[in-house]
Chain A
Amino acid sequence: MLMDTVNELVQLLAADGRIDVKSAACMTAAQLTGTPEGLSLLTSRADILTAILHLIRDSEIYTSKDAMRALINISAEESGAEGLLALKDVDITAEMVKCIEDTEYPHADFACGILANLSKPKHLCQRVFDRITDGPTKLEGLVYILSQIDYNKKGAKLHLLASFISNFSQLAAGRRQMMDKDGFVLQRLLSFMDYKESKGRRMSIIATVHNCCFEKIWMLWSLSRVYTLIVNITEYHPWLMGEDVDLVPRLLLPLAGPDTFNEEENDSLPFDLQYLPDDKEREPDPEIRKLLLEALMQLCITRAGREVMRKQNIYLILREHHKWEEDRHCIMLNEDLVNLLIRTEDEIGVEDLSSVEVPPDMARKFVEHDMEFLMTGSSDLNSLTEAMVEELK
């Protein structure tokens, strides 16, 4: 009985049917996706999914809108996403990209959302990424569209496109493509790091940048037949901190407040951070501040990176930020960062901090200590750090 109804629905969804019939059928489908049972029912039927996909460009705007909303719900579930990507007759990724590229398509925001949903689970992300790279509009094209405000003439803001792109940054290949020195992808994203109009876009962009800072390359060094060293190199950090990208001031600007320094101190800072106006606001969202600080921490891993940061005298900004900051986690990160910058290289003693092996029991202690700090706010970090340094020596 149910199967018959479902079959009937498929027929009613046909793209060449009557307008009112299609509209009603589409609305029904959308409503079905609201319930878990309805959703799983629809997911199991490839023909329904295909039919819905064909309706996204229907001339009747409410039909197409319902079709898109249905797809959003379906793609939000992992099983639904699997089902959509498995469709043979139509490539959902390509269809969605076409919707985004079309400056006149009204539901482009939904298209971005669908793609973001599809790429969220890691194993599906690779598939989506491959399809995009094979298609005509690659990552680069999408970033270019994102970087144009008012690209879509029908009011779609395309903020979720940023989320989609940031999902790619969970893949190493995605990160590498973004940071390709010959190309021009990452730099386009940087200008949105303080985009006030949309917290979503800002968060996604900063998350992308944050992920990119973690990118390393594993290289095999064969010293002899017996010993091979696996060394990981943070190859991108010099480029990221260099003038092509100049990431450090951009990461700090949201953390900086109104100017409180004298002229000499100001001149020692990068241009972006000098003489900030009295109405400068810091980044309001603590999650985003956390991401910024973590990214800065990552850039501090190498000695070269630390030296660059010391030269840019960002300690001043961090000091002021510490006075203002209220979120425990952010304070902790700030203190860690300042810790690294204040100590001299002799004290730190290690070129690349990520190569330091932390014994598991120490690691556990650190985690416990962090938790304690977050809960109570007491800071006994220094003694613990001393202890660790002693142990490692």
Chain B
Amino acid sequence: QHSALYIFPRCELLFHESKIEEKNQWPNTTRVTIHYNCYTHLEEEKYCSKVVKTRETSMAEEWKDKVIQEKLGGKKDWTDEERAELCRQLDEELESHIDAMGKTRYKGGWTEENWKEQMAEHPLFAPYIQEEGATQAEAPINPLSEGLAQLKFDPDHNTPEEVAQNYKEEGVLQFKYKKYRLAVANFSEGLKQKCSDYDLNAQLHNNRAAAHCHLGNYRSAIKDCEKAVELKTDYLKAVVRAVDCATKLNSWDEVFHWCDRGLRLDPTNQKLKTDRLTALKEKKLLERNARKMARDENKKATEEQNLINAIKNSGVQLGSTVLKGSSSISLSDLEPCHPAAQGSRVHFNESGELVWPVMLLYPEHHETDIIQEFPESDHIIDHLEVIFGKEAAPAPWDTEHKYQVNNLHVFFEDKEKTKLCKVDPNQTLQQVLRDPRYHVLGGTPG
């Protein structure tokens, strides 16, 4: 899990090394090799000599014992001169051995061509080249960074507080580079340490909340702020952050709650007061809009109900294509099915009378006409005049111009008796509709 965490060069690394030296451990050869590779090219002499020197000393110890065994047959009592002589011998042998290791040119170093890439990959120099969206799995696992990361976050070598502190710093760095997901991961790791420093944990929560904010995870951010304030009750920063997140979520009640908490800590805080006012206004607006909508809906419902009642009471019978047992009619039953009549459903006009869309059928030619607005009190003949009168052009299908006002017979169909009933055109629509044999289908008298 540490692999994706890049670390910036710091002097501490040297101390970590020295720690290892003190403990006289050489955990594994790989690590040793890493240090060699890592530092020989930087400041060859300084690091190389340091490492080599310590190696020297321990190796020298080994050799000493070895030589003592081999050459001197386990002799233990020495004079000073003999000791000095032996030392000198051993030194010479060591020198020649090292010389024999070859003064080959260091091959693993960076060349002219690839030094930029190498540098980019190297944890000591790498800026954060990782793209924002890349997940941890995709990050190239640089063994150098892995090693360094292990050093830093190894619980064996550090106290929980130190590890948590390191994670926190790491996360802050990520944050500065806008790598918010990595920052969150770091802060989470820091919190996993469950160290006993409440302040530090509170800061970790607060920082994680900030990172979540930038990622747009306002809900998670608020949760973190809550934890932060739990740990540190006067944490005004966390409270203010929670207010901002709640504002972004338009969750006004939460804004009030957090503002109240903040104003308890700092009653003079103008920002919190302003935020609270904004929240108050927004909430009032919301409530008022909800009330208005409710009122409009109610109004609409009552109007519809009135219309239906008026139709029922007027004696007009509504038929329907589907047999329904219920006596209640809804407005959808009155929606006209005919495409030309769409949108002109029966309604009240200004004088309070019903206005219907009326369909005229011409069975001879299988044609229909729609009169979109036919007030009940109008006489049928008036509308026929308009359509078939002297001024009006004959209908396109009326080739013989047979359809003239005086010639017309108007009927309606009695659905039950499947009979045609004659209609006196001098009557009003109202009178026709109230004929007990007449049913209005599809909201459109036909």
Tell me the A residues contacting B by CB distance below 8 Å: 140, 144, 147, 182-185, 187-188, 243-244, 259, 266, 271-272, 274-278
Q: What residues on B are CB-neighbors of A266 within 8 Å?
A: 292
A275 touches B295 (CB 8 A): yes
A183–B277 touching, CB < 8 Å? no
Q: Shortest Cβ distance from A251 into chain B, in angstroms? A: 15
The A-contacting residues of B in range 244-289, CB under 8 angstroms, are 260, 263-264, 267-268, 273, 276-277, 281, 284-285, 287-288
Partner of B263, one of A184, A244, A272, A278: A184
13 examples of A-B residue contacts, CB within 8 angstroms: A140-B267, A144-B260, A182-B268, A185-B267, A188-B260, A243-B277, A244-B273, A271-B281, A274-B288, A275-B291, A275-B295, A276-B291, A277-B291
Size of B's binding interface in residues, CB under 8 A: 18
B288 near A275: Cβ-Cβ < 8 Å: yes
Residues of B near A272 (CB, < 8 A) are: 284, 288
Q: How far apart are B108's CB and chain A's nearest CB, in angstroms?
A: 67
Chain A nearest CB, measured from B220 CB (Å):
26
Q: Helix, strand, loop or mixed for chain A's interface?
A: loop
- Indicate whether A144 sits within 8 Å of B292 (C-beta atoms), given known contacts A271-B284, A272-B284: no
Pick from B268, B291, B294 the residue with the most CB of A within 10 Å.
B291
* Chain B binding surface SS class: helix
Q: In the assembly, what is the distance between CA of A277 and CA of B267, in Å?
A: 35
Q: Mark B295-307 against chain A: 1 for CB-CB distance below 8 A, else 0.
A: 1001000000000
Task: Pick the contact of B268: A183, A271, A274 (CB < 8 A).
Answer: A183
- Knowing A259-B295, A277-B294, the reply to whether A271 touches B273 (Cβ < 8 A) is no
Instruction: Give residues of chain B (148-203) contacting chain A, Cβ–Cβ below 8 Å.
Output: none
Closest to B273 in A: A184
Cβ distance B77 to chain A, nearest Cβ, rounded Å: 80
Distance in Å: Cβ of B139 to nearest Cβ of chain A: 48
Q: Which residue of B lies closest to A147 (CB)?
A: B260
Establish whether residues A275 and B273, one from each chain, have CB atoms under 8 Å apart when the complex forms. no
Interchain CB contact under 8 A, A144 and B284: no
Chain B residues with CB below 8 A from A243, complex form: 277
Residues of B within 8 A of A277 (CB): 291, 294-295
Q: How far is the CB of B3 from chain A (nearest CB, A)?
A: 48
| Of A147, A182, A188, A271, the contact of B288 (CB 8 Å cutoff) | A271
Complex partner residue of B292 from A188, A274, A278, CB under 8 angstroms: A274
Task: Please name the residue on chain B nearest to A144 by beta carbon.
Answer: B264
Q: Tell me, rounded to whole Å, the shortest Cβ–Cβ distance linking B258 to chain A.
A: 13
Residues of B close to A147: CB separation below 8 A: 260
How far does the alpha carbon of A101 sit from the alpha carbon of B287 in the complex, in Å?
34
The residues of A that contact B285 with a CB separation of less than 8 Å are 271
Q: Which of B268, B277, B284, B298 contacts A244 (CB 8 A)?
A: B277
For A259, the chain B residues whose CB sits under 8 A away are 291, 295
- B298 — which chain A residues lie within 8 A by C-beta? 278
Q: Which of B264, B276, B287 has the most CB of A within 10 A?
A: B264
A259 to B287: give the CA distance in the assembly, Å: 14
CB distance from A122 to the nearest CB of B (A): 28
* Chain B residues within 8 Å of A244, by CB: 273, 277
